[in-house]
Amino acid sequence: MAVSSHELIAGFADPVQASQQVFRAALKVMSEPGTRVEVDYVEQAPKGLDLSTWQLALSLLDPDTRVWLSPTLASSDAVISNLRFHCQCPLVEFPKDADFAIALNTELPQLAELNWGSAEYPDRSTTLVVQVPALSAEPFWTLSGPGIEHTRSLRIAGLPDAFRAELIKSRQRFPLGIDTFWCCDNRLTALPRTTKIEPRTTAIEPLNTEQEAC
């Protein structure tokens, strides 16, 4: 797909400084899993991407990173054109080939479809970036592990139960695993493969989160 010039929007006003600041935000949430930060270095994102997703892309993606997009994003002219123009990242058809997979919460690939890295090179795994309808510190999940002094609470709204179960179970394969960023509007959090997730309640969480802000 070619770049549609009428879909192009501005990237960072100051790419060097904004890339560094967004990276530091990403570093903060990856090293202190479940903490939530805001990133505000762009006015708008391509239609379909959250502000935080777009800023992560501008900061971390380039011609060296293969990117997989979930179906709605992959069929969006605005998303494709801006990623191609600003990041020049190659897009791949299968999640297994991706360094970064960007997905809507309703279009998540199965974790098994991603690249988990190898025993010798566990770093060569896909980083999964998911756009979700809400992120909060409500005690739905109790997190523990590196980067967390005791425990930390996190609620990520809008995830299918099967995916939640798969994510929790994936910890058994450490050091192989999938590191995740969670994006909602201008907010960002992360769960690296080391974070243990304890569901505090077995009650099924409502998927309807329209009234909630993230």
Q: Which of 7, 8, 19, 151 binds another protein (CB under 8 A)?
A: 19
* Residue among 50 and 179 whose Cβ is closer to another protein: 179
Q: Which of 55, 127, 170, 209 binds another protein (CB under 8 A)?
A: 127
Residue 21: its H or E element: helix 15-31
Q: Which of 55, 59, 170, 209 binds another protein (CB under 8 A)?
A: 59
165 touches another protein by CB under 8 A:
no
Q: With contact defined as beta carbons under 8 Å apart, do 109 and 159 qualify? A: no
Block residue for tokens 């959090």? 189
24 touches another protein by CB under 8 A:
yes
172 touches another protein by CB under 8 A:
no
Determine the Cα–Cα distance for residues 176 and 191; give it in Å rounded to an integer: 14
Q: With contact defined as beta carbons under 8 Å apart, do 185 and 212 qualify? A: no
Q: Which of 139, 146, 160, 199 binds another protein (CB under 8 A)?
A: 146
149 touches another protein by CB under 8 A:
yes
DSSP 82: H
String marking each residue 91-110 x if it binds another protein according to CB under 8 A:
--------x-----------
Size of the site for another protein (CB under 8 A): 38
Return the range that interacts with another protein (CB under 8 A); candidates 2-10, 22-30, 163-171, 203-211.
Answer: 22-30
* Residue among 74 and 176 whose Cβ is closer to another protein: 176
Q: Where are the alpha helices (DSSP H) in 32-160?
A: 51-60, 71-74, 77-82
Determine the Cα–Cα distance for residues 167 and 180; give it in Å rounded to an integer: 10
